[in-house]
Chain A
Amino acid sequence: MESMIKFLWLIPASPLLAAGVCALLARRQRRLSAGLAIGAISISFVVSCAAFLTTLHGGRAIRNFRWFDYGTTSVQLGFVLDPLGAIMAVMVTGISLLIFIYSLGYMAKDENFTRFFCFLALFAAAMLGLILANSLLLFFICWELVGLASYLLIGFWFQKPSAAAAAKKAFIVTRIGDLGFLVGMLFLYASKGTLLFYDGGSGCLEGGFVASTLICLLIFCGAVGKSGQLPLHVWLPDAMEGPTPVSALIHAATMVAAGVFLIARVYPLMTPESLQVVTWVGALTAVFAASIAVAQNDIKRILAYSTVSQLGYMMMGLGVGGVSVGMFHLLTHAGFKALLFLGAGSVIHGCHKEQNIANMGGLRKRMPVTFATYAVGMMALCGVPLFSGFWSKDAILDAAHDWRISQVPFYFGLFGAFLTAFYMTRQMCAIFFGKPATGGAEHAHESPFVMTFPLMILAGVAAVAGFFGTPIWPWFQTYLSGRKAGFDWPIVLLSTALVIAAIVLSGWIYSRASRENDPLETAQPALFALLRRKFFVDELYDATIVRLTAAFAMFADWLDRVVLGGLVRAMCWLTLALGRLDRNVDESVVNGGFDVGTETVRGSGKWVSRWQNGQVQRYLRMIGLAFCGLLLLLLWGSR
């Protein structure tokens, strides 16, 4: 592992280099840009796998370096190679590679192909830097870069006003969380004196140092923003304006998981009170988002709310069970959610840009590969036994059941699982079963191999990945620290029963339903409207915070224009007046004074010259008088 750390920099550096070169390429050099990006991410994948292999027996390798000095201290950054980082790096590089390949097909007809791969490579570089960072500062830098890449990619089709607005919303809302993160970081630096995670015993996470709850909560703010927890979840559904590969990579598998990764990374720092907060926030988010997803009609939006809900599960898992519980679900979720999103992209591509599930139907026969892989992903998400999601979600429910503080998160988790199965079945029925609703669905075709190939790979992963963490072979739990893998039969049976019940119920309702009216809507119109309108959270924000900010902005503008501008104008006027006064003084006093002086000299000279009247005798008289005076002076002086 010590020798491996020397090559660790390759993992973020090669996509970064690819991004840099792609930025300089012309729009028509498509193959070169795609090749660079895919090549770079493959290199990163290979190195990550190698690094992963070296960490199989645990341990940690560190490489710190000094960034700059100030005064007697210096700011240090560094890389760390440990099990948590290694497995995350393998997941990110692997999924990125598959999605890059998928994008070759999906974005083939887009004219900004080169720019897309440049941004994707930039994102990959930033995400990998974040994973391997040993310093909270380097982590934050990469965190912001990831946010930037997300903004660029959400607003990729910036000519659409909704896409531009969604990109801005994403950036601004995550910024609010990042503010808390930054303040927490500053407090941490003030209390510990270093931002390095591991530093030979003096890092933040070493020596049993536990930060104050305030610091932990502030750092959690960053995670709330980035991972779309309540109340900063509003940007994630709107982020679906970006292309589907972007949604799959960034807003399902990797970037939104960065918040969970943050909490996992700084886990030794967290106080029990802050972990309680994490759990409650996660649990609430899980149920909140799942209930909204029941009433949505856009294929990607359903998946987006599903992501928010599953992120809530991950946070809950971290809070009740520790690093391994949360991270297990993160990894399995990455697999099946990427699969679901790519499948949705395939459906959209096949139905010629149709995204409303009410306008689809009967695609089972027309897009078989997509259907099969989508079904695998759906079952993994719902937690159908033996699929990967089942193992990881069960681990969470198990840990929640054993949580001494309260059982409410457990019940929330169960309710959330029910809802998840319910809406996913609703979605499946609407898309793949029944009769095609529109011509687009009628003439749907299967996607090209370059797009279905990653789907198949991911389906395999989604099916199998869970086996790494089963109680029979608890490799994952030993690999990462956390709760020991237990197997509580009652809970397993309960959760499985709930899932099957939900699938059956939903299937029964929706396979008979007509396209125009949703049965739930007709049954409970008020509740359905509330869910459809996302609990009016966006409207609430608009009425309060946005309005407040706009008013403040107007006030600030008035202040700048009238008060400060007026002040500047006053200073200007004052300076001009002073200048005029100065000139007047110069002209009247200085010049006038000089003139008067010279006039006096001239006048006196003229007067004196009149003494010389040409009369010689007068001169002689003067000499005589002077002689008398001189004589008197001498006589007086000699006395």
Chain B
Amino acid sequence: MLNEFAFLLCAALTLAGAVAAMTLRNLVHCALCAAGAFAGLAALYLQLDAQFVGFAQFLVYVGAIAILIVFTVLLTRGAEIRPGESTASPAPWMGLLVGVLVLACLIGSIVASPGLFRVPSQTARASVQQIGEQLMNQYVLPLETIGLLLTAALLGAVVIALREPPDK
């Protein structure tokens, strides 16, 4: 009961934040609402006994990515609201239609499988020690690759966004 209520609350928060992020005019508001959506998701993770992931989500998405987006918005003068100008791309109803279509497909596939509506009985425990052991034993290769990827991404981002020196 409480579980259900908590779920509904977090779900509402997430969805509201998502909708707001996609529809608001001011880009900074969008970014902040997105952060709210991310936070809601983190709560859901916590509810699903994936505490580590939840905190990781919070740290990375809310703490880093949302802020990054804000920075970018500020750097590209996206914060300026130009009145009269539409925020939608040409033919927005097509995009909405596609979105609805995809939603229908997904919902349809979920509803069509009755086994998903059961309530599970088992408990799940994911201690940090277990995660650490898994990371070091089974997933050591992906771990190292991720490290490499992050390094490359870091360097790449710096290089791409570097202000080019003017020609003399």
Contacts of B109 in A (CB 8 A): 631, 635
A628:B89 contact, CB within 8 angstroms: no
Of the stretches B48-56, B92-100, B149-157, the one at the interface is: B92-100
Surface stretch bound by B, among A419-427, A568-576, A600-608, A617-625? A617-625
Does B136 lie at the interface of the complex (its beta carbon under 8 Å from any beta carbon of A)?
A: no
Contact between A624 and B102, CB atoms less than 8 A apart: yes
**Beta-carbon contact of B95 and A627 below 8 Å:** no
Are B102 and A621 in contact, CB atoms less than 8 angstroms apart?
A: no
Chain A 623-639 interface 0/1 with B at a Cβ cutoff of 8 Å (1 = within): 01101100110010000
Known contacts A631-B109, A632-B105; decide if A624 and B89 are in contact (CB<8 Å). no
List of B residues within 8 angstroms of A625 by Cβ? 98, 101
Partner of B101, one of A615, A624, A635: A624
Find A621's partner among B95, B105, B108 (CB 8 Å cutoff).
Answer: B95
Closest to A616 in B: B89
| A617-B89, A628-B105 known; A635-B98 Cβ under 8 A | no
Q: Are B89 and A627 in contact (CB under 8 A)?
A: no
Question: How far is the CB of A623 from the nearest CB of chain B, in Å?
Answer: 9
Q: Give the CA-CA distance A203 to B106 in the complex, in Å.
A: 113
Q: Which residues of B contact A621 (CB under 8 A)?
A: 94-95, 98
- Whether B95 lies near A628 (C-beta < 8 A) is no
Bound CA span A214–B62, Å: 132
CB distance from B73 to the nearest CB of A (A): 19
Rounded to whole Å, the gap between the CB of B34 and the closest CB of chain A is: 18
A631 and B112 alpha carbons, distance in the complex (Å): 13
Instruction: List 7 tightest A-B contacts by C-beta distance, closest first.
Output: A624-B98, A631-B105, A628-B105, A628-B101, A617-B89, A621-B98, A624-B102
Say which residue of B90, B102, B108 sits within 8 Å of A627 (CB atoms): B102
Interchain CA distance A631-B108 in the complex, whole Å: 10
Q: Total number of A-B contacts with CB less than 8 angstroms?
A: 26
Chain B: minimal CB distance from A597 (Å): 35
Q: How far is the CB of B93 from chain A (nearest CB, A)?
A: 11
User: Which residue of B is nearest A639, CB measured?
Assistant: B112
Contacts of A624 in B (CB 8 A): 98-99, 101-102
Contact string against A for B residues 95-139, beta-carbon threshold 8 Å, 1 for contact and 0 otherwise: 100110110011011001000000000000000000000000000
Q: Is the CB of A628 within 8 A of B102?
A: yes
The closest CB in chain A to the CB of B109 belongs to A635
Residue in A closest to B89 when the chains form the complex, CB atoms = A617
Instruction: Place the interface of chain B in its size category.
Output: 10 to 19
Cα distance A308–B90 in the bound complex, in angstroms: 126
Q: How far is the CB of B110 from chain A (nearest CB, A)?
A: 11
Does more than half of chain B's interface fall in helix, strand or loop, or is it mixed? Answer: helix
Q: What is the minimal beta-carbon distance from B144 to any residue of chain A, in angstroms?
A: 31
Give every chain A residue within 8 A of B89 (Cβ-Cβ): 615, 617
Min CB–CB distance B96 → chain A (angstroms): 10
| Closest residue on chain A to residue B106 by CB atoms | A631
Q: What is the distance, in angstroms, from B55's C-beta to the closest C-beta of chain A?
A: 32
Nearest chain B CB to A232 CB, angstrom units: 114
A275 CB to nearest B CB, Å: 122
Q: How distant is the Cα of A621 from the Cα of B102 in the complex, in angstroms?
A: 11
* A627 CA / B105 CA spacing, docked (Å): 9
Given A617-B89, A617-B95, the answer on whether A635 and B102 have CB atoms closer than 8 Å is no
Residue numbers in A under 8 Å from B90 (CB-CB): 615
Other contacts beyond A625-B101, A628-B101: 9, CB < 8 A: A617-B89, A617-B95, A621-B98, A624-B101, A624-B102, A628-B98, A631-B105, A631-B106, A631-B109
| Shortest Cβ distance from residue B38 to the other chain A in the assembled complex, whole angstroms | 22
**A627-B102 Cα distance, complex, nearest whole Å:** 8
Q: List 5 A-B contacts (CB under 8 A).
A: A624-B101, A625-B98, A625-B101, A631-B105, A631-B109
**In contact, A635 and B95 (Cβ under 8 angstroms):** no
Which residue on B lies nearest to A621, using beta carbons?
Answer: B98
A616 to chain B, nearest CB (A): 10
CA distance A621 to B89 in the complex (A): 12
Bound Cα distance from A617 to B94, whole angstroms: 10
What is the distance, in angstroms, from A611's C-beta to the closest C-beta of chain B? 14
For B95, give the chain A residue with the smallest CB separation.
A621
Smallest Cβ distance from B117 to chain A, in angstroms?
18
A265–B95 CA distance with the chains assembled, in angstroms: 122
Q: Which residues of A contact B102 (CB under 8 A)?
A: 624, 627-628
Residues of B within 8 A of A615 (CB): 89-90
B94, closest chain A residue (CB)? A621
Please report the C-alpha to C-alpha distance between residue A255 and residue B77 in the assembled complex, in whole angstroms: 133
Identify which of residues 81-95 in chain B touch chain A, using a CB-to-CB cut-off of 8 Å: 89-90, 94-95
Bound complex: CA of A193 vs CA of B108, how far in Å?
105
Cα A628 to Cα B98 in complex, Å, equals 9
Q: How far is the CA of A632 from the CA of B106 in the complex (A)?
A: 10
A contact residues around B106 at 8 Å (CB): 631
State A632–B108 Cα separation when bound (angstroms). Answer: 10
The CA-CA distance from A45 to B98 in the complex, in Å, is 126
- Provide the residues of chain B in CB contact with A617, threshold 8 Å: 89, 95
Interface residues of A in 52-81 (CB under 8 A from B): none
With a CB–CB cut-off of 8 A, which chain A residues contact B98? Answer: 621, 624-625, 628
Expressed in whole angstroms, the Cα–Cα distance for A631 and B109 within the complex equals: 9
A625 and chain B: residue at smallest CB distance: B98
Distance (whole angstroms) from the CB of B142 to the closest CB of chain A: 26
Most buried by A among B89, B98, B109: B98
CA distance A635 to B101 in the complex (A): 15
Q: Which residues of A contact B99 (CB under 8 A)?
A: 624
- On chain B, the residues within 8 Å of A628 by CB distance are 98, 101-102, 105
- The minimal Cβ–Cβ distance linking A634 to chain B, given in whole angstroms, is 9
Q: Is the CB of A635 within 8 A of B94?
A: no
Q: How far is the CA of A625 from the CA of B94 in the complex (A)?
A: 10
CA distance A635 to B107 in the complex (A): 12
Give the Cβ gap from A627 to chain B, nearest Cβ, in Å. Answer: 6
**B95 surroundings in chain A (CB, below 8 A):** 617, 621
CB distance from A134 to the nearest CB of B (A): 111
Docked complex Cα distance between A173 and B105 (Å): 113
